[in-house]
Amino acid sequence: MAHSAFHSLTLKELLESIQDYPEESVQLVEKAYHFAANAHDGQKRMSGDPYFVHPVFIASVLAEMQLDPPTIAAGLLHDTAEDCEGVTIEVIEKEFGEEVAVMVDGVTKIGRINVKNWEERQAESLRKMILAMGKDIRVILIKLADRLHNMLTLGYQPEEKQYRTAQETLEIYAPIAHRLGVYKIKQELEDLSLSYIDPEGYRDVATKVGAKRAERENQIQHIIDVLTEKITAAGIQDFEIAGRPKHLYSIYRKMVIQDKTFDQIYDLIAVRVLVNTLPECYQVLGIVHAVWPIMPDRFKDYISNPKNNMYQSLHTTLMGGREVKTPFEVQIRTHEMHAVAEYGIAAHWNYKEGKGGSQMDEKLYWLRQIIDWQSEARDAKEFIDGLKTDLFADEVFVFTPKGDIINMQKGATPLDFAYLIHSGVGNTCTGAKVNGRLVTLDYELQTGDRVEILTSKSAKGPSLDWLKVVKTSQAKAKIRQYFRKAMRSESVGLGKDMMEHEAKRRNVKLGDLTKPEYYEPLLRRYSLADLEAIYGAVGFGGMTAVHAVGQLIDEQQRQKDKEQKKTPPQLPQLTPTFKPQGKPTQGVYVAGGPGMLVRFAHCCNPVPGDEINGYVTRGRGVTVHKADCINILNSEPERRIEVAWADEGSGTFMAGLRIIAYDRPGLVGELTGHVGDSGIKVNSLSAKANKNGTAVIQMSVEVSGTEQLQQLLNRMKRRSDVLEAYRTGN
């Protein structure tokens, strides 16, 4: 195992770390320890070690971060529901309570979903974890400890997995640790990832750092001696001074990304001073600046202007003298600030009293933003790319007109700022002022800028060109959402007008036709949500007004005929009155026994899961229709015959889809690829572009039944570029 600042604790040490909690909480951890040990008994890690060393290490990290007993218990149990026979989330909830079970479930991977590739599985697991974080931030603290131990033992994994895991850690988990301020874990994750992603670069930096270690240690000791004497003379008590550990990845980034030489990096020699109070921080700063000259533009005050992850400290870079020949850095903070710098949100989250506070809500605003836009992601790739961009981006700090500090990713524009404040501000934005001067909407915000958004109630709303201006995933999602609603609203109005015109042509009133009992069969037939969806489908061009009004008139007439005859309607039968005999034909049993030719009606394309009826044709056997198909309902009753689906797994069946989406290059290819990724074959396809910027795509697909078809429709509807997706009868 690679070296770590963390180490495993014995059960006794683990319980001692939480001895200040109530006795029942301590017992909870002890019970979880023995439960997990028993569940993982006989299991081995790739290293050959007993598997139980993994949850114990995680619980030890959580204990060092001074997290509460339920979190430590969840750390011990986090893999039991996924890897141990007979253990489920329900079992964990019964044994350890809902709080622990929810955390374990949040950490558990998506292991049983039908995904086609690693990227999609990664996206769904991360999406699940992000949503769980929104409910309880402790989920990600457990996951970070889990990822740290997996990285420490990554050398036992196959080489391909080593690189892939290290890349994911560097792009997702280390940035999350940074966002939460858990620097102690973040720095270990980054250094470990670098050793697998660029082993040569890692060794080069490590060699250069170690080359003059003795000389640097002597220089650091000289700085400590001088500061100890000066601080003591100033009357400050109970302070600590130590050399700051070297973070290899940060040095590597400066050398590679900023194109600096090793000698141009000024924080190789650094010390950290810890004191008790805020005034003492600035008193020590004065002492430091009185001893050594400050380097211009190298002073940062993160105490009066904390980072968004709650980090607070004074950073100053100083010119060395005779004893220290190179520039060096001094960090000054209180002991409490240091705890936050090491463990971030874990140091602030007050679980003993069961509260996080409004301040904590503000610090987790970035998480709420991610939760907001993740549901708008079109597919796995867009979600992963957006997550990486938002987590990994460098930050700038800007001010509102009232002086509130807002942190944004580097490269953000006034439009991003507007949508961050509120979608209504973004949608009515007409311009922006930065530091009192008008700027273009694509102006790149800089730290210290004071931003004022100009709005107008008469604004026309966002432009599609704004998608090229904004840089944040949140702003892009809100702009797409606006157009989705606007275009739907426009199409609903257009569709209603078209249907009113068609109804008038037929000498009927549309209001007489749009009663629930008349349009509900249409909703079921085409998988539409409500009456507005019918109007929208007509307005988009996905359904003709002639067809929609005709269906409503037919349904109205059927209802009147039923009322006049006072006879029960020909309702579909879920369970046939006949007993299926012999082998089914094409997945269907026919009353009267096997041997009859069976074909499926193209007017309604029934699939397993649909209620069905049969019609005996002249010379072509039995045609199977959906039970609510207008053709079977209007057919001769004496020629109808009972039919029933055989068990599942009897083959594939044709179904029609109609998709209405924003038109753009590559749209059809993406949608067919989306269908293929669901394991469904596209049999035929046609597409038509509309003048309003949308496209109508019609597909004939092969599915195993209504369940698979509905899953596909749901996936399509989740895409931000898809406006409507429903089943058709042709």
| Residue 30 known to be catalytic | no
Q: Tell me the per-residue pLDDT of 610-640, one tens digit each, with 9 for 90 and over.
A: 888 889 887 778 898 888 787 887 788 888 8
* Catalytic residue (choose from 16, 23, 82, 642): 82
The CATH number of the domain covering residues in 11-205: 1.10.3210.10
Which residue type sits at 214? A
Contact 332, 317 (CB under 8 A): no
Task: Compute the average pLDDT of residues 219-241.
Answer: 91
Q: Tell me the per-residue pLDDT of 280-305, one tens digit each, with 9 for 90 and over.
A: 999 999 999 999 988 877 888 888 87
User: Residue 245 above 50 pLDDT?
Assistant: yes
Length of the chain (residues): 730
Mean pLDDT of the chain: 80
The pLDDT, as a whole number, for residue 356 is 44
| Distance (Å, whole) CA 267 – CA 326 | 10
Beta bridge partners of 299: 316
Contact 513, 507 (CB under 8 A): no
CATH topology of domain 363-473: Ubiquitin-like (UB roll) (3.10.20)
Cα 273 → chain centroid: 39
Task: Compute the average pLDDT of residues 240-269.
Answer: 78
Question: Nearest CA to 302 among 315, 289, 283, 319?
Answer: 315
Split at pLDDT 50, 70, 90, the class of 112 is: very low
| Residue 99 known to be catalytic | no
The pLDDT, as a whole number, for residue 119 is 57
- Residue 248 DSSP code: H
The pLDDT, as a whole number, for residue 29 is 92
Pairing of strands 622-626, 598-600: parallel
Rounded-to-10 torsion of CA 218, 224, 226, 230: 180
Beta bridge partners of 654: 702
* Catalytic residue (choose from 30, 83, 204, 336): 83
The pLDDT, as a whole number, for residue 354 is 42
Split at pLDDT 50, 70, 90, the class of 249 is: confident
Contact 241, 272 (CB under 8 A): yes
The pLDDT, as a whole number, for residue 730 is 44
- Residue 236 DSSP code: -
Q: Tell me phi and psi for residue 397, to 5 degrees.
A: -115, 120
Cα 667 → chain centroid: 23
Q: Tell me the per-residue pLDDT of 310-335, one tens digit each, with 9 for 90 and over.
A: 788 999 988 877 777 778 889 999 99
Task: Compute the average pLDDT of residues 664-677.
Answer: 82
Q: How many CA atoms lie within 13 A of 656 on its CB side?
A: 16
The pLDDT, as a whole number, for residue 352 is 38
Q: Which residue blocks in 354-472 are alpha helix, DSSP H?
A: 357-363, 365-374, 380-392, 414-421, 423-427, 466-469
Q: Tell me the per-residue pLDDT of 168-220, one tens digit each, with 9 for 90 and over.
A: 888 778 888 887 778 889 889 999 999 998 888 888 888 887 777 778 888 88
Per CATH, domain 653-728 is 3.30.70.260: yes
User: Residue 372 above 70 pLDDT?
Assistant: no
Q: Tell me the per-residue pLDDT of 552-574, one tens digit each, with 9 for 90 and over.
A: 988 888 887 777 665 544 444 44
The CATH number of the domain covering residues in 208-348: 3.30.460.10
The pLDDT, as a whole number, for residue 124 is 62
Q: Tell me phi and psi for residue 364, to 5 degrees.
A: -105, 20
The pLDDT, as a whole number, for residue 289 is 92
Split at pLDDT 50, 70, 90, the class of 446 is: confident
The pLDDT, as a whole number, for residue 271 is 92
Query: Please, which residues have CB within 8 angstroms of residue 378's CB and are 6 or more apart in sequence?
Result: 719, 720, 721
Enumerate the domain spans of the chain.
11-205, 208-348, 363-473, 481-559, 588-645, 653-728
First to last CA, the chain: 61
- Classified as helix, coil or strand, 269 is coil
Task: Compute the average pLDDT of residues 472-499.
Answer: 81
How many CB atoms within 10 Å of residue 597?
A: 13
Share of the chain above pLDDT 70, in %: 83
Q: Tell me phi and psi for residue 467, to 5 degrees.
A: -65, -25
